[in-house]
Amino acid sequence: MDLAINPFSSGTRLRDMIRSIRACKTAAEERAVVRRECAAIRAAISEGDQDYRHRNMAKLMFIHMLGYPTHFGQMECLKLIAAAGFPEKRIGYLGLMLLLDERQEVLMLVTNSLKQDLNHSNQFIVGLALCALGNICSAEMARDLAPEVERLLQNRDPNTKKKAALCSIRIVRKVPDLAENFMSAAASLLKEKHHGVLISAVQLCTELCKASDEALEYLRKNCLEGLVRVLRDVSNSSYAPEYDIGGITDPFLHIRVLKLMRTLGQGDADCSEYINDILAQVATKTESNKNAGNAILYECVETIMGIEATSGLRVLAINILGRFLSNRDNNIRYVALNMLMKAIAVDTQAVQRHRATILECVKDADVSIRKRALELVYLLVNDTNAKPLTKELVDYLEVSDQDFKEDLTAKICSIVEKFSQDKLWYLDQMFRVLSLAGNYVKDDVWHALIVLMSNASELQGYSVRSLYKTLQACGEQESLVRVAVWCIGEYGEMLVNNISMLDMEEPITVTESDAVDAVEVTLKRYSADVTTRAMCLVSLLKLSSRFPPTSERIKEIVAQNKGNTVLELQQRSIEFSSIIQRHQSIKSSLLERMPVLDEANYLVKRAASTQATVSSVKSAPAVTPGGPLKLPNGVAKPPAAPLADLLDLSSDDAPVTTSAPATAPKDFLQDLLGIGLTDSSPTGGAPSTSTDLLMDLLSIGSSPVQNGPPTSNVNLPGIAETKSAPVSPQVVDLLDGLSSSTSIPDENAAYPTITAFQSATLRITFSFKKQPGKPQETTISASFTNLATTTFTDFVFQAAVPKFIQLRLDPASSSTLPAGGNGSVTQSLTVTNNQHGQKPLAMRIRMSYKVNGEDRLEQGQISNFPAGL
């Protein structure tokens, strides 16, 4: 731009400036013009130019509207307001409202000018001041100027009165304590005839009711009659051209009065009764062929729903909504849906009748209508209609546009979870939602799905097969992929062998390598995120144990991630590779199925942390199976929590002894590591603590997990028995032996009796009982049997538990154990597991007794408690 032909100076007219700004072809040009103009205005301000002050301010406002900074003009506004003439004041107040807001401290400087102007003899200047105060006043100004405004409410001029009334609204909003000062003046304004004053006064009354209960009571007593009269007059009035809109006189006043009536009638039977008739009149007589009429009907219906209306009136209101709902105008349908939400509380049945129409609205092209309708459908779902409604919604999910899917998915998931009566239905719906909108399914929803599947052992086969099929079709839906991969890893053999088929299911042929293929494809899909890939790796690892022939291939796939730049994947890859390669013997036990997840516990957790992110540490134990990312380093298997607990346990000062009740898998570990602990010495030895730690560590992977589904628990006593008869390799024999030698009846079918400890001289068995309603608490009755040939005297049993468990020991039935298994001593223990469902029970025990006066000590650790204690 050439500065020589600059047409701008502070002398340019506003019109010219606007023209030249509009003539700019590029943003840079516009900026240059504005910059120059601002510079000229600044110069004029600093020179104290008087003549063009208000013109400059007008320019500045235009520049402000374009989005340029104009702070330097704020003080100029104040000067203009302080000037004597009306034109200056007018532009000054306009600038004040545009350039400043209530948060700027400069505003405080204007309080004094405002006070003077509010007391001005010229009603137009008073009007300017009221307008500015009403639009931007702060709490301090409200306090300072409230008396002036109060006084102006009684002014003769209707223009001043209505402005003062609206200004009072702002004051009361800022300082609700002032509400009582305005109530009598507000009530007396309702006697006016001028519509502007009336509508302002009605709005002021509504605001006062909101701000103060005292005002509400006062207005209930003093203005109800006036209100009814106003409404009757305005609705009965003949054609009034000045206020006519669509053949109705002043619909705005109608609506404001109806709104105030709602406020007054809410929860007050007398008031409600008083306005019953006029509401009925408005509801029946108002024309509904124009928007203005419908606006009044809409407000009237809302008031009827809001007050203690008679049932006849409510029927009338619901009928109006029914008419609205079938209207062709989208706006009317929208407000009908909006209002039906409120009507549900009043009359659910009446709303249910419109269910089909509402459901159609969910599929409307207009997103506003869809949103309203969806909210409404959600409220309409109950046990009887949940299935058909869900089907409709899920069907629609398929074709709905992307923006709407998130809302829709969230609502469907919520309905499915709330109203599922059978698990199969729940699973089917969830699978469909996952396949259609898996990217929109929130983490806690699919975590809950996994928890449910883990509990529904009869449906696991069906689930994994369905998910496998769906995965083939919709591999792009993140949540679906995660759930599917998890299931294939856990229940892979059910997929391949068509285990636990449902009647309606068609058998599918999936080979072991097909299953591996599916996971591999997912792992390598470019859009898969880290969590999904990590889950794929775990899944592959598990498959390598489920399908030994594929192990070699899986090893290769897993190894490909050894150089991954994401640390989590790299680490998993390296660790998993080494498990596959070097720890064949422990692999199968390490990769057992996840223990059943505690459903109730998860739901409680989930409710507690709905807002918290799912990756938060708190919910980590519950979601571990779903989100294995939270595993601490160095552990290849999900149960991270038991690790911490058991380490905690072993940090107790009581040393672990070799006679720990080793379960079979633990033996493998011990063998593998070459720790010569396979034979159980009759007396408590004292091995080094380092070995203990190792043992603890290694037993972790197996102990709680091994128990697996409760059905397999029956084997456990037999396995534990191995110790007592190491010569016999056959478990079957041992089981026989067990049933003959032990006579402890299994009183509690849910939890099998276990042999908690066994040495050459002593056997301890535990049987379990739970009080109904107290899942955390378990009563264990321990039974001690002396297998040696000499009697034990001074027998004392001690037990230690990790911090999250509380233990109470009752006195033993005797302190003497007769020799040769002739009778036993019993003692009962009560344990409370504060982390029931997340962490299994664990216990360290110590038995001291005397044999022929000689002290003996035996110790052990019990980690083969049945699952679910």
* DSSP β-bridge partners for residue 245: 248
Ordered alpha helix ranges (H), 618-730: 620-623, 640-650, 664-673, 689-706, 716-721
Q: What crossing angle do the helices spanning 423-437 and 386-399 adopt, rounded to 10°? A: 20
Other beta carbons within 10 angstroms of residue 679's beta carbon come to: 10
Counting contacts by CB under 8 A, is residue 461 touching other proteins? Answer: no
**Distance between CA atoms of residues 199 and 255, nearest Å:** 10
Which strand (E) or helix (H) includes residue 808? strand 805-809
Pick between residue 373 and residue 580 the one whose CB is nearest to other proteins: 373
Pick between residue 329 and residue 679 the one whose CB is nearest to other proteins: 329
Other beta carbons within 10 angstroms of residue 608's beta carbon come to: 11
- What is the smallest separation between the CB atom of 280 and other proteins, expressed in angstroms? 20
- What is the smallest separation between the CB atom of 352 and other proteins, expressed in angstroms? 24
Other beta carbons within 10 angstroms of residue 370's beta carbon come to: 22
- What is the smallest separation between the CB atom of 256 and other proteins, expressed in angstroms? 7
Report the residue from 62, 443, 583, 731 that binds other proteins according to the rule CB under 8 A: 62
**Distance between CA atoms of residues 166 and 200, nearest Å:** 6
* Interacting residues with other proteins between 727 and 766 (CB under 8 A): none
Q: What crossing angle do the helices spanning 224-236 and 251-265 adopt, rounded to 10°? A: 150
| CA distance to 238, 534, 543, 572, 780, per residue, from 566 (Å) | 78, 10, 23, 10, 47
Give the count of alpha carbons within 13 A of 253, CB side only. 26
- What is the smallest separation between the CB atom of 615 and other proteins, expressed in angstroms? 25
**Distance between CA atoms of residues 406 and 404, nearest Å:** 6
Q: Which long-range contacts (CB under 8 A, 24 or more apart) does 156-161 make?
A: 157/123, 158/192, 158/194, 158/196, 158/197, 159/123, 159/127, 159/196, 160/123, 160/126, 160/127, 160/130, 161/189, 161/192, 161/194, 161/197, 161/200
Pick between residue 52 and residue 797 the one whose CB is nearest to other proteins: 52
Report the residue from 63, 160, 162, 390 that binds other proteins according to the rule CB under 8 A: 162
**Distance between CA atoms of residues 795 and 829, nearest Å:** 16
Q: What's the longest Cα–Cα distance across the chain?
A: 121
Report the residue from 134, 489, 701, 717 that binds other proteins according to the rule CB under 8 A: 134
Counting contacts by CB under 8 A, is residue 61 touching other proteins? Answer: yes
Pick between residue 259 and residue 465 the one whose CB is nearest to other proteins: 259
* Interacting residues with other proteins between 208 and 247 (CB under 8 A): 242-243, 245
Which conformational region is residue 404 in: left (phi greater than 0), alpha (psi within -120 to 50 degrees), or beta?
alpha
User: Binding mask 165-204 vs other proteins (x if CB under 8 A, - otherwise)?
Assistant: -xx-xx------------------------xx--xx--x-
Pick between residue 159 and residue 531 the one whose CB is nearest to other proteins: 159
Pick between residue 98 and residue 494 the one whose CB is nearest to other proteins: 98
Report the residue from 1, 18, 139, 530 that binds other proteins according to the rule CB under 8 A: 18
Among 557, 608, 555, CA closest to 580: 555
**Could you give phi then psi for residue 351, rounded to 5 degrees?**
-70, -40
Pick between residue 164 and residue 805 the one whose CB is nearest to other proteins: 164
Pick between residue 133 and residue 829 the one whose CB is nearest to other proteins: 133
Using the structure block, give the residue that is written with the tokens 């605001």.
Answer: 207
**Distance between CA atoms of residues 315 and 325, nearest Å:** 15
Other beta carbons within 10 angstroms of residue 729's beta carbon come to: 9
Pick between residue 333 and residue 666 the one whose CB is nearest to other proteins: 333
Torsion angle, CA of 541/545/547/548, rounded to 10 degrees? 110
- What is the smallest separation between the CB atom of 140 and other proteins, expressed in angstroms? 14
Counting contacts by CB under 8 A, is residue 389 touching other proteins? Answer: no
Stretch that binds other proteins, among 58-66, 428-436, 543-551, 790-798 (CB under 8 A): 58-66
Which amino acid would we find at residue 412?
A: I
Report the residue from 15, 25, 156, 193 that binds other proteins according to the rule CB under 8 A: 15
Counting contacts by CB under 8 A, is residue 844 touching other proteins? Answer: no
Q: Would you list the DSSP string of 716-763?
A: HHHHHHGGG-TT---HHHHHHHHHHH-------TTS--EEEEE-SSEE
Report the residue from 41, 44, 45, 58 that binds other proteins according to the rule CB under 8 A: 58
User: Binding mask 364-383 vs other proteins (x if CB under 8 A, - otherwise)?
Assistant: -xxxxx-x------------
Counting contacts by CB under 8 A, is residue 255 touching other proteins? Answer: yes
Report the residue from 1, 39, 43, 65 that binds other proteins according to the rule CB under 8 A: 65
Q: What is the DSSP letter of 441?
A: S
**Distance between CA atoms of residues 192 and 199, nearest Å:** 10
Stretch that binds other proteins, among 90-98, 417-425, 595-603, 855-863 (CB under 8 A): 90-98
- What is the smallest separation between the CB atom of 5 and other proteins, expressed in angstroms? 23
* Interacting residues with other proteins between 298 and 357 (CB under 8 A): 298-299, 302, 330-335, 338
- What is the smallest separation between the CB atom of 16 and other proteins, expressed in angstroms? 10
CA 356 to chain centroid: 30
Query: Considering CB under 8 A, how many residues would be counted as binding other proteins?
Result: 67
Counting contacts by CB under 8 A, is residue 91 touching other proteins? Answer: yes
Counting contacts by CB under 8 A, is residue 259 touching other proteins? Answer: yes
Three-state DSSP at 764 gives strand
Counting contacts by CB under 8 A, is residue 8 touching other proteins? Answer: no
Pick between residue 400 and residue 824 the one whose CB is nearest to other proteins: 400
Which positions touch other proteins (CB under 8 A)? 15, 18, 22, 58, 61-62, 65, 67, 69, 86-87, 90-91, 94, 97-98, 101-103, 124, 130-131, 134-136, 159, 162-163, 166-167, 169-170, 195-196, 199-200, 203, 242-243, 245, 250-253, 255-256, 259, 291-292, 294-295, 298-299, 302, 330-335, 338, 365-369, 371
